[in-house]
């Protein structure tokens, strides 16, 4: 876990290791979401980049007997 410092202008720097792990680039947009007692930063990605990200997901759904 990395600790960040908030600047007097309320800015933070995302550590290099995290930027590299997530493939973040300078100027890229992220969404900030307040969730419970934390802040989550979600990278905004183009739809084209999202293609195939669910590959391998289990799509089977248990159905009621009268729905099969």
Higher-pLDDT residue of 56, 8: 8
pLDDT in tens, 33-67: 999 999 999 888 877 776 777 788 888 888 887 77
Kind of pairing between the strands at 30-35 and 38-43: antiparallel
Whether the Cβ atoms of residue 43 and residue 24 lie closer than 8 Å to each other: yes
Higher-pLDDT residue of 50, 23: 23
In this model, does residue 12 exceed pLDDT 80? yes
Question: Domains of the chain: which residue ranges?
Answer: 27-52
Higher-pLDDT residue of 65, 26: 26
- Reported for 12-19, long-range contacts at CB under 8 A and 24+ positions apart, including other chains, are 14/41
- Rounded to the nearest 5 percent, the helix, strand and coil shares of the chain are 20, 20, 60
Per-residue confidence band for 68, with pLDDT thresholds at 50, 70 and 90: low
């Amino acid at each position: 876990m990395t600790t960040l410092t908030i600047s007097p202008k309320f800015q933070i720097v995302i550590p290099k290791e995290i930027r590299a792990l997530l493939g973040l680039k300078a100027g890229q947009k992220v969404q900030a979401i307040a969730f419970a007692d934390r802040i989550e930063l979600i990278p905004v990605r183009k739809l084209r980049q999202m293609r195939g990200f669910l590959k391998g997901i289990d799509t089977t759904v248990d159905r009621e007997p009268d729905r099969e």
